[in-house]
Amino acid sequence: MTDGKKAPTPTDLPTQSPDALEAMLTQAMSTRASNAPAVPTVGQRCGLIAIVGKPNVGKSTLLNALVGQKISITSRKAQTTRHRITGMRTVGPTQYVFVDTPGFQTRHSNALNRSLNRTVVGAVNDVDLIVFVVEAGQFNQADAKVLSLLPANTPAILLANKFDLIHRRAEIAPWLKEMQERHNFAEFVPMSANNARDVERLFGICDKYLPEQPWMYGAEELTDRSDRFMAAEIIREKLFRLTGDELPYTSTVIIDKYEEEGNLRRVAATIVVERDGHKGMIIGEKGEKLKRIGTEARHELETLTGGKVFLEIWVKVRSGWADDDARVKTFGYE
């Protein structure tokens, strides 16, 4: 958008005909190709963008695509992103600093979930732009919970993800009208996080919401997470990938040791689970599952660090830790 046009406000919408809504949809899908900022840029531009949404809508996929490197784990299983992960990308004069947030928990309200909820609220109250991610054409109670956390005075983009799964566009216009009535979204972006062109287009859309100010990071930097943190995330991803849906999300990974000797890293990690049965699931027949988790994690760590990695993984049962505030803290949650 180079002409400074704004998406219609919710008050405009009820009077609009279905044709007008269809026109708006067409416009949203066709005129966003430009990467030019709406306001001429004098110097550097830099701002924080929170990517929020219920679990499984594609936030991690989007963040990884935006940053161009895998920094947030993705999985078919919901709720795998538990830490607030920041990635950044500098395009032309603009530095985009992304904040990923855990999915808002609605089913249980134990200490772990309270900690997750605090992280979400902390993330949205401290940013220049919110990207509210939903699955195109869908909106349920979990989406509504997340939406209710968004501050009214921060511009929010409605990102209708997984648009590749929408086959009848006619259904989207009424859905969009409902969405505009729910929140005063600044813009509507139908897209697919796994489509590279859609992702590049998003930079040009977000640009104008970020203030003119010096960059916070170097132009080449992609994450401010430590190698130690990345090690835990990688192990956790392999754990969820290789144990499928059987393993409850309350299991976690702790890095006990992370030592660097030249090009070599010695890493010791503990996977903490809630029950003996879960321990068996991770270790597998003759230990082959744990061995595979270790091998795959080590390969990825070696790619990430560009060196050799010795990785030791232990599995421990810590029954009930998710209900214990002190213990949640020990494991690094905010």
Residue 238 binds to ligand GDP (criterion: CB under 6 A) = no
Piece in contact with Mg ion (CB under 5 A), picked from 58-66, 107-115, 190-198, 253-261: 58-66
Which secondary structure element, helix H or strand E, spans residue 243, and what is its range? helix 227-243
Min CB(194)–ligand GDP separation in Å: 5
Q: How many residues bind ligand GDP (CB under 6 A)?
A: 20
Q: What is the DSSP letter of 319?
A: T
Question: What is the distance between the alpha carbons of residues 38 and 23, in angstroms, rounded to a whole number?
Answer: 22
Residue 60 binds to Mg ion (criterion: CB under 5 A) = yes
Site string for Mg ion, 155-174 (x = CB under 5 A): --------------------
User: Other CB atoms closer than 10 Å to residue 223's CB: what's the count?
Assistant: 18
Question: What is the distance between the alpha carbons of residues 90 and 92, in angstroms, rounded to a whole number?
Answer: 6
Cβ proximity of 80 and 240 under 8 Å: yes
Residue nearer to Mg ion on the CB measure, 60 or 192: 60
Min CB(111)–Mg ion separation in Å: 21
- Which 179-208 positions form the footprint of ligand GDP (CB under 6 A)? 192-194
According to DSSP, the β-strands at 252-261 and 264-273 are antiparallel
Among residues 25, 45, 70, 74, the one that binds ligand GDP under rule CB under 6 A: 74
Residue nearer to ligand GDP on the CB measure, 132 or 185: 132
Residue 81 binds to ligand GDP (criterion: CB under 6 A) = yes
Q: Rounded to an integer, what is the distance from CA 254 to the centroid of its chain? A: 21
Residue 161 binds to ligand GDP (criterion: CB under 6 A) = yes
Residue 75 binds to Mg ion (criterion: CB under 5 A) = no
Residue 59 binds to ligand GDP (criterion: CB under 6 A) = yes
Which secondary structure element, helix H or strand E, spans residue 118, and what is its range? helix 111-124
Percent helix / strand / coil, the chain, rounded to 5: 40, 20, 35
